[in-house]
Structures are given as C-alpha cells and as structure tokens.
Amino acid sequence: MCGIAGIADFSGLGGDVKATLQKMVSQLHHRGPDGTGFYHDAHIGLAHARLSIIDLAGGAQPIHNEDSTIQVIFNGEIFNYVELREELLGQGHQFYTHSDTEVIVHLYEQHGPGFVNKLNGQFAIAIWDTNKQRLLMYRDRVGIAPLYYAQTGSRITFGSEIKAILPALAARPGVNLQALDQLMTYWAPASPNTLFEGVYELPPGFMMVMDASGMQISRYWDWSFPVQADQYLADSEEVLAEQLRELLVDATRIRLRSDVPVGAYLSGGLDSSVLVAMIHHFSDAKLRTFSIGFDAESLDETSYQQLMIDQVGADHSRVQCSEADIAEHFVKTIWHTEAPILRTAPVPMRLLSNLVRSQDYKVVLTGEGSDEVLGGYDIFKETKIRQFWAANADSGFRPALLKRLYPYLDVSPGRAQQYLRNFFGSNLDEPNLPCFSHIPRWTTTAKCKEFFSSEVKATLSGDLMKLVESSLPQQSGDWHYFNRAQYLEAKTLMAGYLLSSQGDRMLMASSVEGRFPFLDHRVIEFANRLPPKLKMKALNEKYLLKRSMGGYLPDAIVNRHKQPYRAPDIPSFFTDNPPDYVNDLLSEAALAKSGLFDAKRVQMLVKKIRLGRAIGYKDNMALVGILSTQVWHDLYMS
C-alpha cells in the first residue's frame, strides 16, 4: 500500500500548492518510503508516497490516461489487474506502465464512475477528471485502505491518514467528544466520524464525487444476506466445502501477485494456518512466515505455530514481545493509530511488521476477516446460546453452555457461572432487538465512560444503540440473527478497529502491506449465502472452513479451542520501572489539562492497580482506554 493526499477547491486553490502538498505527503513517509509524486492545476493538488510493489521501475504516481486528461493517485492493490489489463487492451486502450494503477485510469475511461464494481482489491483511489472538472474518490468494499477528508467551504482536503490533512487546515481540529463516546462503546467511532472534529472517513464501500455543484457520497457495495430460505445455497456440505476451497485458493493466488517477495503471518490459529497451507499446497511461491510470541504463557501460541512450521517446512521468523516492549512502543503506536485503543494488542502487531520489514519483505498475507465472514468469533456463539436461552429463560442448562466458551476467564470457578449468567442474561426478553448480539459487549465496554469528566458527560447526547440501529439496512430485520450479528461485527469492530488500529496502521508503520484473502468480496458474497448452521454447527465455529481445509492442517490446530489474540495490558505499565509518560499523563495536572476524565476516579483506579486488585476486563480496558486517550490528546491536541 502507499499514501495519498490532496486538495480540491473549485473556487481556485491559490497559494503555494506544491509546498502544501509536500508538507502533507511528508506525514505519510512510513506508508511510502520509495518515492513521491505530485500533480496540481488551478483546482486540484494530488500527492503520492509510494511503496513500490508492482512495476518497480515504471509505477510512479500520479498516473494518467493517453492524453493526460485523467490523473489518478491510489493507495492499495488491484489484484485482478492482469485480467482487466488484457480486457482494456482488447478495447483499444494504450498503456505506458505495467502497474495496476494504470488499469484504474482506463477502466474509468471505459465505464465511467461505476468502474469500481469491476475491481477485486483493497484501495483508496482519487481520480481527477480535467474535462469534467470533477474529483472522484473510492474506498474498498470492507475498509482495508483508509481514506479521510475535511471540508471547509468549497475546499476539500483528503489523505490516507489524518496527520496528512492537518498541515493543510487553517486551524487544528478539536476533540470530537461524540466520537470518543462511540469509541468507548464500539471500540471505534461510528463511521464516518473520527476523533478529530470536522474530519471524516469515507466509509468502506462508498464513493464520493465532487465538482463545482457540490459533493455527493453514495454506497456502491455492502454486505447482504438472504431474506428467505430459498436464497441460501442448497448444495451438499461436500460440494460447498469444495467451492469454498476453490474460492479461497483463487483469492490467495491473486494476492500473491507481486514484483517483490510475499510472506505470511502465522499466529498458530486456524485462519493463518489455512493461508499458509494454501500457499504451500496450491502455489509455487516461496513459503516465508512471521509470528509473535509472548512471555506470558496464557497469551503465547508458539507451540501451535511450530506445529504448522514443522508440517509445511516454512522459513520462519519470530519476535518475542514482553510487557516492557508494550510500554516502550505504546506512544508511537498511538501516533500511528490516531485514535485511543482499549487493549494493547496493536503494539505487538507493529513489532511484527517491523520484523517483516527487517527481513526485506514488504508484503504479507494475513488471516484477518475469516472470523467475520465464516462465523468464528465467540460473540456469535454467545448470540446462539442467548437466543437458545431466551426461548426458555428459566433454564439452568442453557446458560451453563457459556462456561464452555471461556475456560480462560479471570474469575474463580465458583463465581464463573453466576458471573456469566449476569453478564449475558441481559435483554433475554427482547431477542429480536437489532443489536441483541452485541449488547453485552457494548455494555461492558461502555463502563469505561464512568471515568469521563462531568464536563464531557454533560456534552454527550443520543442513544448509541439507536445510532447503530439507524445504520442497518432496511432488510436486516428479515435476516437470520446470526447474519445480523456478522453484519454488526463487520461494520463496527472489524472496519473501525481491527482493519485500522490493529491492521493497516500497524502494518504501514513499518512500510509493510497486508493482504487479506478472506476479505475477497467473492468469498464474502459466497459465505453470506451459506446457511448459518454451516458456519457454526452447534458451537463448532467456522465449520465449513474446517471441512474445506482441515485435511491440510495438523489435527491439533483444527480441533483447538479458539483463543482470541491478546497482549498484556495493565502489567505493561505498572512495573518497578514504568516509563515516565505513564505517571505524567495519569497525573491530576495532565488529566485536568485534557479535561476528558475525572481525575479523582482515575487516581482511584491507579491506586487499585498498584494494590494488585485490578485484574478484570473492565479495569484493563479502562486503564488502556484512559492512558491511550491521554497519549492521543498529548500528541494531537496539545
């Protein structure tokens, strides 16, 4: 991937546009250290920071059409560019590079604004059409490549990261407190909001067209599920498993297209192991893998990683992450995320991408997206059990199933059952609520907001559950509850946090591009038509994926209990030698300066931690949320 930035003003740009563009793109050097390129005229300025992966010699951007009337800058990859190029050559288009970017230019010429539907890829695209004097911008279907913008009067400023937009604004944006409220509930602001007031993201699957008459934003793709039984795929399990394998093999094959070597992340879980197996069995690519290990035994998956390495004979590298590493790299991580985080999990992902880059790799495949697409998360199991329980609220057996989901729960065995009953037993009398699946998680996360200052609390308004409900497609009320839970997960946690703070930002921090075969839109559209019972059979998650690929994996990986990726939280910051910023930013003076949190309550939490009494999810999320918000405020608002 790369970095893009630009300014458009249909009243005329004025000033030293090139100098402004240089300031903007300099903030994206980590995304594109291999070169920069610029284009500007009276109404548009475009800048590009390049990470060269395809057509190393000739792919510099902006790239234009035959008569230079169409200019494009692009962050991402078009994986089906080989087939599209052949099609366009047959239609008479002339290419001057071998890059995937030039395909975009000629597709737009051939098909107009709807060309995006022909792309298989991950992308943020800006096209300037000089004949029609219009700017078009696109973001990929699921939100892998970021794209932000700010509008002031007739001027729009945009970039791959918000830090690229800031130098072009007349004034630094303030804190969007409503977005902070949303982040402390859903783990990310509700799209299109960001923590920066007046700065928005172009949502996944959306396009923007801007000309002298104004700006129009519209959706070109979305997740969709059957609304009646005969719309589900009806082939046998065996046939569907084979079709899924064929799709995944092709999704992986086209994501191995590159003029530089491509590696793969290997966590030791099912999804990354499937990817490694597909590369090994269905391609000629050299198998090079990378993984993280943790000092804490409860978080470490090294033994499963080794099982897979032994089976396929991969050339493997591993980075060990300690609590001290988390603390040392936390501040820089927040500079990259541009948003607070509620767990420290992104930090080790940055160390991992740094390992990849140190081994001269720029591209890795990752298993992200499989859980959302094929039904792997515990939240889907919780939803099944809670729906089952809601049908007989007095049952003792049904809530007991929850204990099977959380063998690692930080609660004594004697208290675990009652804890789970209390936690998951809410809203059982309303199983048809649109957000039924996510109420327990969001309720728990929202407890972080108890630490907000009274001034912040006074500004917050609106029902966040209603906010999400209003964003659901009209037909979602007719979807199976399992599919509705998948949609919510894809639109909130995956797009807002996993692909951003834990995904793109941590990869690009080290100038590494991640590719996501499970998020190929053909895989998503196929999986969305699978009967839910084939995604999760009883409580066996990703059942069809296991049926499809289990024969290529060690049994111990196929049958292991799913372990969510986690990293040390509170223990990272409260050691004998904590970094200075921890005490500084959690001090009463620093908390008063930001004005976001109640200093007395935060001090009580810190005291509780120092006494060794803070061990649960709530305390860990609160501490990481408060500390990362303070870091973010110090970096971007002070």
Q: Do 590 and 599 form a contact (C-beta atoms < 8 A)?
A: no
Angle ∠(17,144,526) on CA atoms, nearest 5: 140
Q: Is 334 annotated as a binding residue?
A: no
Q: What's the CA gap between 108 and 30, in Å, rounded?
A: 29
For CA atoms 451, 457, 461, 463, the dihedral sign is: positive
Both structure tokens of 271: 């999804």
Q: What's the CA gap between 553 and 338, in Å, rounded?
A: 38
Q: In what order do the strands lie in the sheet with 315-321?
A: 315-321, 288-294, 262-265, 363-365, 513-515
Which amino acid does the sequence have at 249? V
**DSSP string of 115-147, one letter each residue:** GGGG--EEEEEEEEETTTTEEEEEE-SSS-S--
Q: Do 353 and 512 form a contact (C-beta atoms < 8 A)?
A: yes
Q: Is 292 annotated as a binding residue?
A: yes
Whether omega for the bond prior to residue 204 falls within 30 degrees of 0, making it cis, is no
Q: What are phi and psi of 304, to 5 degrees?
A: -75, -35
Q: What are phi and psi of 632, to 5 degrees?
A: -60, -45
Q: Do 270 and 278 form a contact (C-beta atoms < 8 A)?
A: no
Nearest to 629 by CA among 177, 221, 248: 177
**DSSP string of 38-78, one letter each residue:** EEE-SSEEEEEE----SSTTT--SSEE-TTS-EEEEEEEEE
Count of CB atoms within 10 A of residue 339's CB? 25
Name the pairing type of β-strands 513-515 and 363-365: parallel
Q: What's the CA gap between 586 and 627, in Å, rounded?
A: 7
Q: What are phi and psi of 384, to 5 degrees?
A: -60, -45
User: Can 435 be counted among the known catalytic residues?
Assistant: no
Q: What's the CA gap between 371 and 485, in Å, rounded?
A: 12
Q: Do 384 and 482 form a contact (C-beta atoms < 8 A)?
A: yes
Terminal Cα distance for the chain, rounded: 30
Both structure tokens of 536: 């999760």
Both structure tokens of 366: 């990752």
Both structure tokens of 224: 């969709």
Nearest to 490 by CA among 519, 514, 530: 519
For residues 636, 489, 506 and 26, what is the CA-based torsion angle, rounded to 10 degrees?
-50
Q: Which H/E stretch holds residue 581?
A: helix 580-585
Both structure tokens of 288: 């090079």
DSSP-H helix ranges across 155-215: 162-165, 177-186
Buried b (16+ CB within 10 A) or exposed e, 137-166: bbbbbbbbbbbbbbeeeebbbbbbbbbbbb
Length of the chain measured in residues? 638
Residue owning tokens 């970094």:
579
Name the active-site residue from 2, 321, 435, 448. 2
Beta-strand runs (E) in 312-427: 315-321, 363-365
* Residues classed as catalytic: 2
Q: Which residues are annotated as a binding site for L-glutamine?
A: 100
Q: Which residues are annotated as a binding site?
A: 100, 292
Q: Which residues are annotated as a binding site for ATP?
A: 292
